[in-house]
Structure 1
Amino acid sequence: MRADAQNTVEEIEKSLELLKQRLDWETAEFRLEEFNARVEDPDLWNDADAAQKLMRERQTLVDAMGVYTSIKQELSDNIELIELGEMEDDEEVVTEAEQALKALATKAGEKELEALLDGEADSNDTFLEINSGAGGTESCDWASMLARMYVRWAEKRGYKVELQSESAGEEAGIKSAAYKISGHNAYGWLKSESGVHRLVRISPFDSAAKRHTSFTSVKVYPVVDDNIEIEVNPSDIRIDTYRSSGAGGQHVNTTDSAVRITHAPTGIVVTSSEKSQHQNRDIAMKALKSRLYQIELDKRSALVNEAHENAGDAGWGNQIRSYVLQPYQMVKDLRTNHETSDTKGVLDGDLDGFMGATLAMNVSGKSRAEAQGED
């Protein structure tokens, strides 16, 4: 086997080993038998919520076992094809099998990262909030660019995106926006995006064509499942209704239906302005519970998400990522040092490399660059 193909095989084998460890393969079949026995219990659906939770857990295990088995089998098949092609001196067969191995390595790497999403709320849907910071009109425009970036990322993954509220900028862009993003592992992927994002570019709003720096903050919170109890004391909250100042078109409200909830003990403020007043109240309360739940997750976690606890102002000193469009093109994450010159791709939602690098660092305690330097 040629050296490049051997390296690819070793890369896939490393991913398989991590998948095996995360799955706890030695007990996986036993756990599946337990799930199957419980599913056959005629009294299971007496408690619909518990039954649905059980079915989700079973399906997650089935899917994980299937991924591990299929990658292992595909690896074995392609190794056999390469060996057969080399024996028969068939370069075409060898080349096709090597290309299949490269594709498999990419798939295995993606599944390896997904296997790291085993936090308490990683599989949940998520709320995503975007707030413009220092920079005035520039920052509002930057906030709208970030909103588009995350919507594009979510749509590429097949996630459902719902706009919860939006406040338009005075001249351009948005002051703030809140989304609910639904899909498996939505929170697990997006949680690393919490923090301040910095943009450097030639301003389209500056007649002198000077370079400007803008800041926008992003906050991410898991949607709280019905089986997670978060108590909110009614005396701790204030509920206000107001007329929304949306971006126009489908987001215009003509009645005072928008809802703002303020939680006095924490100072948390959540809003919803896209539905009826009754729906907005329900949406805002769920968002508040998600914010409070995130605080509890942070307290229990050794890897506290500083973007939530120490968010500060959206300005210098708090940024997690820089997007430079002038005088050169570069997007760089300041936590992991992961970077790319494909700024257009990133702003079109190509974020998996950044999310994966942060996820790997949170698990290992090292950036990928540091880990590779030790190999």
Structure 2
Amino acid sequence: MVELTELRARIASMAETLASFHQTLDVEGKKRRIAELEKKMGAPGFWDDPAAAHPLVEELSSLKKAVAEIEDLTARIEEQREFLELVAAEDDDSLREEFADEVRALADEVARFEILTLMSGENEHRNVILSIHAGAGGTESCDWVEMLLRMYVRWLETHGYEYERTHLLSGEEAGIKSVTLEVKGFYPYGHLRSEAGVHRLVRISPFDANARRHTSFASVDVIPIFDAVEVTIDEKDLVIDTYRAGGPGGQHVNKTESAVRITHLPTGIVVQCQNERSQTKNREIAMRELASRVQRYYEAQRDAELKALLGDRGEIAWGNQIRSYVLQPYTLVKDHRTGYEETDVRKVLDGGIDGFIEAYLRWRLERKTKN
């Protein structure tokens, strides 16, 4: 029989955990961002540019889901705390056991939600492009890509993600050489970034008449989808100087302060124009050039950020694998970064990769804390 003191302690522990989540996940900050986005969406003209509006709509949806889930868990814990007192007043073992099952189920939900607190990067909420490419191993590796695709699709469907296949190149004899999915949903990059790298398969080949053991490799890329860079230049970030043009251009150009120099303070970019006789025209031309240069500046920053996220993947072959899946002579899936392993390979290949995702998140957070 379940002791009420044990249930009371478990509920109190969950309440304490949820309270810490409020701070770790910056729930109040998320609420402020939700209010900010809703205000933007209510502004005239917001929906005139669907391409610009779409990323903000997706961000709002993701934020609302995170806040709603933590508030729902908090409310349910309070309900269980109140119901516990009713159970304590009843001398009914079956009711107590039923309530204990509900407490355990809620504790599992809280544990799953805890994974969000391990996602500390600013890009965790972003949708992703997930690509799988065959490596060393020929037909074997193409078949391995198809197996990995099935594994990820099963995981995506189980967890309610939307996905669209945007590219597929079939193998020459069997399987898939490369495939790309665009994934949308709840913190896709935060969950799937653990999968980026080389995956190794060891098994008895179904393509080998002599039934020999083969090793195959495939690489997985998980790339966050960034919003298009849209340059908004605030007048308060500009220093605008006018001066007399020094080159040829006629008496008016040389004797009036028609030339314009504009400095963009956040980036340090300086542009100038003195071609036209009109200061207004020179300013328009300079502003167009400034917008282009600032756009290029932020795109270069984005490229550098993406390169840092991807890192050096190396060759899709032996020695670079992040995870091994062994079907013969024993069964084991092991992540070589975290040391996490499972022996039920079929369960993993059917999409059961949550343990590997959580282990990676904890391992990454531990490394970040040490550094």
Please, what TM-score do these two structures have when normalized by structure 2?
Answer: 0.69
Letter in 2 for 1:220: V
1:254 corresponds in structure 2 to none
Q: Where does 1:286-305 land on structure 2 (aligned, <5 Å)?
A: 293=302, 295-299=304-308, 305=309
Task: Flag the 1:221–1:291 CA change in 2: closer, same or farther, 3 A.
Answer: farther
Match of 1:324 in 2: 326
2:242 equivalent in structure 1: none
1:224 to 226, 250, 253: 226
Question: What are the equivalent positions in structure 2 for 1:163-182 lying under 5 Å apart?
Answer: 163-182=165-184
The amino acid that maps onto 2:46 is W
Q: In structure 2, the residue corresponding to 1:161 is in which secondary structure?
A: strand
- Seen in structure 2, the aligned counterparts of structure 1 residues 138 and 153 have a Cα distance that, compared at 3 Å, is same
1:1-375 alignment runs, 5 A limit: 1-2=3-4, 5=7, 8-9=10-11, 12-13=14-15, 15-25=17-27, 31=32, 35=36, 38=39, 42-43=43-44, 45=46, 59-117=61-119, 119-227=121-229, 293=302, 295-299=304-308, 305=309, 308-365=310-367
Q: Look up the equivalent residue of 1:45 and give its one-letter code.
A: F
User: 1:82 deviation in Å?
Assistant: 3.1
8 Å CA contact 2:62–2:125 kept in 1: the answer is: no
After TM superposition, the structure 1 stretch with the greater mean CA deviation from structure 2, 44-53 or 335-344, is 44-53
**Aligned residue number for residue 280 of structure 2:** none
The one-letter code sitting in structure 2 at the alignment partner of 1:38 is: K
CA distance in 2: counterparts of 1:298 and 1:7, whole angstroms: 47
Shift of 1:104: 0.9
Instruction: Report the Cα offset of residue 328 of structure 1.
Output: 1.8
Alpha-carbon displacement from aligned partner over 1:208-258 (angstroms, at most 9, x marks no partner): 2222111111111112223467xxxxxxxxxxxxxxxxxxxxxxxxxxxxx
Please tell me the residue identity of whatever aligns with 1:319: Q
Higher mean alpha-carbon deviation, 58-67 vs 197-206, is at 58-67
Flag the 1:158–1:76 CA change in 2: closer, same or farther, 3 A.
closer
- Find the counterpart in structure 2 of residue 237 from structure 1: none
Root mean square deviation of aligned Cα: 3.4
Cα separation, 2, equivalents of 1:40 and 1:79: 39
Instruction: Assess, with a 3 A threshold, how the Cα gap between structure 1 residues 70 and 315 changes in structure 2: closer, same or farther.
Output: same
Do 1:130 and 1:143's aligned partners in 2 also have CA atoms closer than 8 Å? yes
Contact kept, 8 Å, 1:35 with 1:58, in 2: the verdict is no
- Identity, in percent, stands at 40
Distance 2:347 2:301 in 1: 34
For residue 103 of structure 1, what is the amino acid of its counterpart?
Answer: A
Cα gap change, 1:143/1:46 in structure 2, threshold over 3 Å: closer, same or farther? Answer: closer
Specify whether residues 46 and 344 from structure 1 end up closer, same or farther in structure 2 by C-alpha distance, changes over 3 A only.
Answer: closer
Question: Is the Cα–Cα contact under 8 Å of residues 141 and 174 in structure 1 kept in the other structure?
Answer: yes
How far apart are residue 141 of structure 1 and its match? 1.1
How far is 1:90 from its partner? 1.8
Equivalent AA in structure 1 for residue 325 of structure 2: Y
Q: CA deviation at 1:170?
A: 2.4
| Greater shift in the superposed pair: 76-85 or 46-55 | 46-55
Which amino acid in the other structure matches residue 223 of structure 2? Y
Give ranges in structure 2 of 5+ residues lacking alignment: 232-297
The answer (yes or no) to whether the contact 1:203–1:211 under 8 Å persists in 2 is: yes
Q: CA deviation at 1:168?
A: 2.1
Unaligned stretches of 5+ in structure 1?
Answer: 230-288, 300-304, 368-375
Paired AA for residue 296 in structure 1: E
SS at the partner of 1:365? helix
What SS does structure 1 have at the residue aligned with 2:315? coil
Mapped to 2, the partners of 1:356 and 1:197 lie a distance apart of 18
Alpha-carbon displacement from aligned partner over 1:108-137 (angstroms, at most 9, x marks no partner): 122221344453332222111111112222
Q: Would you say the 8 A contact 2:137–2:215 is kept in 1?
A: yes
Summarize deviations over 1:11-59 as a string: whole Å, max 9, x none. Answer: 5245413421123356666x27953883696547387577666665555
In 2, Cα distance between the equivalents of 1:36 and 1:165? Answer: 33
Match of 1:232 in 2: none
Q: Alpha carbons of 1:297 and 1:53: their partners in 2 closer, same or farther (altered >3 Å)?
A: same
2:96 counterpart letter in structure 1? V
**Are 1:221 and 1:291, in contact at CA under 8 Å, matched by a contact in 2?**
no
- Structure 1 pair 192–65 and aligned structure 2 pair: CA distance change class (3 A): same
Shift of 1:169: 1.9
CA contact (8 A) 1:322 1:331 kept: yes
Deviates further, 32-41 or 158-167: 32-41
- Gap change, CA 1:13 and 1:321, over 3 Å in 2: farther
Counterpart of 2:107 in structure 1: which amino acid?
A: A
Alpha carbons of structure 1 residues 46 and 143: separation in structure 2 relative to 1, 3 Å? closer
Q: Secondary structure at the match of 2:103?
A: helix
Deviations 1:33-91 (A, max 9, x none): 95388369654738757766666555544443332232122122223333432343222
Spell out, residue by residue over 1:292-330, the C-alpha distance to the aligned partner (whole angstroms, 9 max, x if none).
94642454xxxxx5xx32211111221111111112222
